Structure 1
Amino acid sequence: MGCLVALSVAVGAAGAAGCASTEYVNEGPGQPTPRASGTLPPGSVGVCKQPETKRPPIVSEELWAHAKPCTPRTPASYIRLGYAKDGAAGADPEAEQLAERVLAALAEGPKPDGGNNQVTGAIRAVRAYAARKDELRARVVRESATGQTCDVTYLLNTMSAARSKLSGGEACTAEVFDPETRADACLFDTKRPEGLWLSSGWSCMTFTGALGNEASCHQICGYDDYCARQVYCAAGDVNLLLCTLGVCLPEPSAGIK
């Protein structure tokens, strides 16, 4: 009120100068959002591709093209993509032949009659190969404590069916952050059923690992206790198979002991 009086009687510039006004400070544009800056948004999974390696057959071609090379500064939580060797590092025919064997076994794996023998045979070959490779040796798990062969076919067939229902038929089994589109994208090539079958239990076997949670193995197993028991038997081998095919999860991975 005093300021209005001062203006009305025109007491001069001194009186007018005493009237305070609201000032709006220009705070600038602020920090860019994670998606705009190219950094990994909270909740998303990062990927990078190992230098001088080939695109894994089960990985999306577009994602492979967009993935940045792995460097010593790449966070340990990122998934490392790439198998065999390429370029100056020289060829690795054994790795390529093993990957072909694993893919052939996975193609037969869903068959109730003989499928599990195909997969477990491939697992034994991968274990023998991994034991000689520094980058894979730590992922080799010991044989099942029960001495019984894991029922991988039953496990992944049950998970595939339940996961399809839970996702409304969505083919993609795992999404990661695409650094070029700056949005989540499917990690796997949805035209390769072998990769989708192997990764049908992705969320519970490779990341959550906790029973009873929203995306737990019990739910993906359709609340089938026998299926859930096979998770503990086969989860480590699923991790090893994925890495042999060029999708190496961070170590140690939650849920994989």
Structure 2
Amino acid sequence: MKLGNADFVKVKNEQLYFYDQHLRTGTLDERRRRKVWVDDTDALLMPVDEDGFLEFYERYRGGATFSRGICATHWGWDDLFKRGSLVSAGQNPKPNWTNCNGPDVAETRWLPAYPFEEFTGAAMIALGNLDEWTASLASSTEVPVGVVATIRASATNGPAVCWGTAGEIQVDGPLAWGNFTLTAIWLGPGGIYRSKLSNYSKLWPHRPYKPSKEAFIKWKSALDEWSEDQSSEPELTKIA
């Protein structure tokens, strides 16, 4: 099955896709009794990364949880902060690998995520683009630096999913609030922490990417105002 100009196929009766180049035809070990049938064909297809896929697929059919890390410098932060929307770089219906948008590849609407509930790995991504000023501030106090979005999907509910590898899947976006939850990631002198976020409206302002000292001071002032507006101190749980 083709979706737009995409070279990937859809699993029959499910919202699961594969990249063509990551498939091979053949029969599965009958002892596993797992079959992945593709729409409009009797061919039985399996990803090249068979072991990783089988673990993923077993969870996905019953309902799987995926983790996506987002740092506060991300260009999509304002969409999340103001509208509660997880957005990608474009509207192309074809998913593609993270950071693989070449000059001939339209930017995709699909969102990269971990194929399992890999919270720690996603939290490390949320720590990305840490500038010297934020790092210095975090050496003396806890600073919110990003979030982990937790997305749930299954064969019958939730957004469509495209299997890539055991390290990355793609989730069809954009996603509106209600299709994911958020956890804040903090950096402080004692390590990395997490705290609950009840709503996207509780997010802090977008942090500038590679800011000048003046831009950082302006952001720090906005962060202080955000902190004062919170009804209570966040309950931080150390994760690393």
Verify same fold: TM over 0.5.
Answer: no
Which TM-score band (shorter chain)?
under 0.3
Higher helix share: 1
Structure number, greater radius of gyration: 1
- TM-score of the superposed pair, with normalisation by structure 2: 0.26
- TM-score of the superposed pair, with normalisation by structure 1: 0.25
